[in-house]
C-alpha cells in the first residue's frame, strides 16, 4: 500500500474518530506511520499502524489535566497528548522517539507545531537511550530464548530479569526523587525460595525518602517481574502463529536504532541500508528446521550487544537530556495554545 493509499484510507469512516474525538480533530499536530511501514519492513498484507500527537486544550493546560492518549484498537491507531509524548520522549522511549525520525513522506499530517516538535528532536537525545532501548531489547531477547533450543535455566532467567530491572533502575533517575546508586542495590544470590537455585535480592538503605515515589518504583519493579511469567505464555501463542521471526527482526532493529542515536545522534526509523538483512530475518532465514533461531542469529545479537556497550562508553551524548530546554519548549507550545484558543 502506498502512502497516497494510506492518506485516502484516513478519509474513510473507519477513521472518523480522528475528526470527531473531542481530544483530536483540529488539535492534532502530527500523524505518521508506525510499525512495518515506518521501518521499511512491510510486505503484502502488512497492517497499517497510525501514530500521532495532539495538543492539550486550554482547559487541560490550565488545570493540569491530560487525556494521555487516544487508542483505536480496530485501526491500530494511537495518538498521544503533547504533554504525555514529551514526557515519554524525555526518557527516549523507543515506541515514541521513532515518531520523530520517520521519512518526510511518512508524515501524513504535520502542523507548524508538529514541525517544531520534529525540529527539536535533538533535545530528547541522551544516554538514557541505553537504558530504554536496552530494556526493550533485553525483554525481546528473553522472548526468543523462551522458544529457542538454548532455553534459559532458572538461574539464567534470574540474571536476565535482573538485567531488565537494572535498566529500569537507571531510568528512575530524574523520574523520582534522587537517591545514590548504593541505596537500592539489586543482585542475585543463593535462593531461599523453594524450587529456585538463585534469586534476586535487594538491599535498601533509604532514609527520609518520599513514600509515594518509593511505592511507584516498587510497583514498576514488581510489575516487570510479574510480566516475565506472562511473556512465556504469550510466546507460545506467537510461535504457533509463526511470529518468532518477527520478534527476531525487531530485536535487531532496536539495536540499530539505538546505535544511530548513540553514534550519530540521529533518529533513523526507516531502515533503508539494513532493509535486506531485516527482511531476511523476518522471512525466516535465521530459523532452523524446528522453527528456532539459529546459532548464527545469536552470534549476531552478541555482536550488536558488544557494539552497544562500546557506543555507550564512547558517545558524546549527555547522561541526561537538557530538562530546562525541554521545559521551555513545552511551555512555549502550551503558551501559544492558551493565547490562541
Neighbours of 64 (CB within 10 A): 8
Q: 207 pLDDT band (50/70/90 cuts)? A: very high
Write the DSSP symbol of residue 103. Answer: -
Q: What is residue 160's predicted lDDT score, i.e. its pLDDT?
A: 77
Q: 316 pLDDT band (50/70/90 cuts)? A: very high
Average pLDDT for 319-324: 92
Summarize pLDDT for 36-58 with one digit per residue, the tens: 999 999 988 889 999 999 999 99
Q: What is residue 148's predicted lDDT score, i.e. its pLDDT?
A: 54
Q: What is residue 295's predicted lDDT score, i.e. its pLDDT?
A: 86
Least confident of 82-91, 96-105, 174-183, 271-280: 174-183
One DSSP character per residue, 122-141 reads GGG-STHHHHHHHHHHHHHH
Q: How far apart are CA 2 and CA 9, in angstroms?
A: 11
Q: Is a pLDDT exceeding 50 seen at residue 307? A: yes
The 3-state secondary structure of 23-54 reads CCHHHEEEEEEEHHHHHCCCCCCCCCEEEEEE
Q: Is a pLDDT exceeding 80 seen at residue 232? A: no
Half-sphere exposure of 227 (CA within 13 A, CB side): 15
Average pLDDT for 145-152: 56
Q: Which three cell numbers stand for residue 107?
A: 508524515
Q: How far apart are CA 250 and CA 247, in angstroms?
A: 5
One DSSP character per residue, 137-199 reads HHHHHHHHHHHSSSPPPHHHHHHHHHHHHHHHHHHTBTTBS---TTTEEEEEEE--STT-SEE
Helices (H), 45-127: 58-63, 82-90, 94-97, 112-119
Q: What is residue 150's predicted lDDT score, i.e. its pLDDT?
A: 47
Q: What is residue 151's predicted lDDT score, i.e. its pLDDT?
A: 59
Q: How far apart are CA 55 and CA 61, in angstroms?
A: 9
Write the DSSP symbol of residue 315. Answer: -
Summarize pLDDT for 150-189 with one digit per residue, the tens: 456 788 888 878 887 877 776 676 678 888 878 999 999 9
Q: What is residue 74's predicted lDDT score, i.e. its pLDDT?
A: 94
Q: Counting beta carbons within 10 angstroms of the beta carbon of residue 146, is it exposed (0 to 12), middle (13 to 18) or buried (19 or more)?
A: buried
Q: Counting beta carbons within 10 angstroms of the beta carbon of residue 176, is it exposed (0 to 12), middle (13 to 18) or buried (19 or more)?
A: middle
Cα dihedral 107/109/111/112 (nearest 10): 30
Task: Return mean pLDDT, the chain.
Answer: 88
Average pLDDT for 133-139: 81
Q: 81 pLDDT band (50/70/90 cuts)? A: very high
Q: What is residue 238's predicted lDDT score, i.e. its pLDDT?
A: 47
93 or 292: whose pLDDT is higher?
93
Q: 333 pLDDT band (50/70/90 cuts)? A: very high
Pick from 170, 164, 129: nearest CA to 263: 129
Pick from 132, 119, 56, 57: nearest CA to 89: 132
In angstroms, how far is CA 93 from the centroid of its own chain? 4
Indicate the SS3 state at residue 256.
helix
Q: Is a pLDDT exceeding 90 seen at residue 23? A: yes
Q: Which three cell numbers stand for residue 132?
A: 530504554
Amino acid at each position: 500500500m502506498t502512502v497516497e493509499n494510506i492518506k485516502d484510507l484516513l478519509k474513510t469512516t473507519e477513521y472518523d474518530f480522528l475528526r470527531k474525538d473531542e481530544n483530536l480533530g483540529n488539535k492534532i499536530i502530527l500523524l505518521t506511520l508506525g510499525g512495518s511501514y515506518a521501518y521499511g519492513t512491510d510486505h503484502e498484507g502488512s497492517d497499517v499502524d497510525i501514530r500521532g500527537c495532539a495538543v492539550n486544550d486550554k482547559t487541560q493546560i490550565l488545570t493540569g489535566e491530560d487525556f494521555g492518549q487516544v487508542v483505536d484498537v480496530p485501526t491500530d491507531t494511537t495518538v498521544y497528548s503533547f504533554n504525555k509524548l514529551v514526557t515519554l520522549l524525555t526518557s527516549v522511549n523507543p515506541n515514541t522517539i521513532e515518531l520523530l525520525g520517520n521519512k518526510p513522506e511518512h508524515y501524513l499530517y504535520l502542523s507548524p507545531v508538529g514541525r517544531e516538535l520534529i525540529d527539536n528532536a535533538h533535545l530528547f537525545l541522551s544516554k538514557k537511550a541505553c537504558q530504554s532501548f536496552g530494556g526493550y531489547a533485553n525483554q525481546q531477547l528473553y522472548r526468543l530464548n523462551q522458544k529457542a533450543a538454548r532455553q534459559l535455566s532458572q538461574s539464567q532467567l534470574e540474571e536476565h530479569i535482573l538485567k531488565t530491572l537494572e535498566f529500569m533502575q537507571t531510568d528512575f533517575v530524574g523520574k523520582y526523587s534522587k537517591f545514590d546508586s548504593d541505596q537500592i542495590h539489586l543482585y542475585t544470590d543463593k535462593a531461599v525460595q523453594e524450587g529456585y537455585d538463585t534469586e534476586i535480592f535487594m538491599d535498601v538503605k533509604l532514609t527520609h525518602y518520599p513514600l509515594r515515589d518509593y511505592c511507584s518504583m516498587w510497583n514498576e519493579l514488581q510489575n516487570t517481574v510479574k510480566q516475565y511469567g506472562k511473556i512465556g505464555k504469550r510466546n507460545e501463542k506467537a510461535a504457533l502463529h509463526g511470529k518468532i521471526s518477527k520478534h527476531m527482526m525487531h530485536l535487531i532493529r532496536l539495536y540499530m536504532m539505538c546505535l544511530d542515536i548513540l553514534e550519530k545522534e540521529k533518529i533513523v526509523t526507516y531502515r533503508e541500508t539494513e532493509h535486506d538483512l531485516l527482511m531476511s530475518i523476518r522471512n525466516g532465514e535465521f530459523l532452523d528446521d524446528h522453527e528456532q533461531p539459529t546459532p548464527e542469529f545469536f552470534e549476531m545479537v552478541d555482536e550488536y550487544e558488544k557494539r552497544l556497550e562500546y557506543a555507550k562508553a564512547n558517545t558524546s551524548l549527555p547522561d541526561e537530556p537538557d530538562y530546562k530546554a525541554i521545559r521551555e519548549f513545552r511551555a512555549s507550545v502550551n503558551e501559544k495554545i492558551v493565547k490562541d484558543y
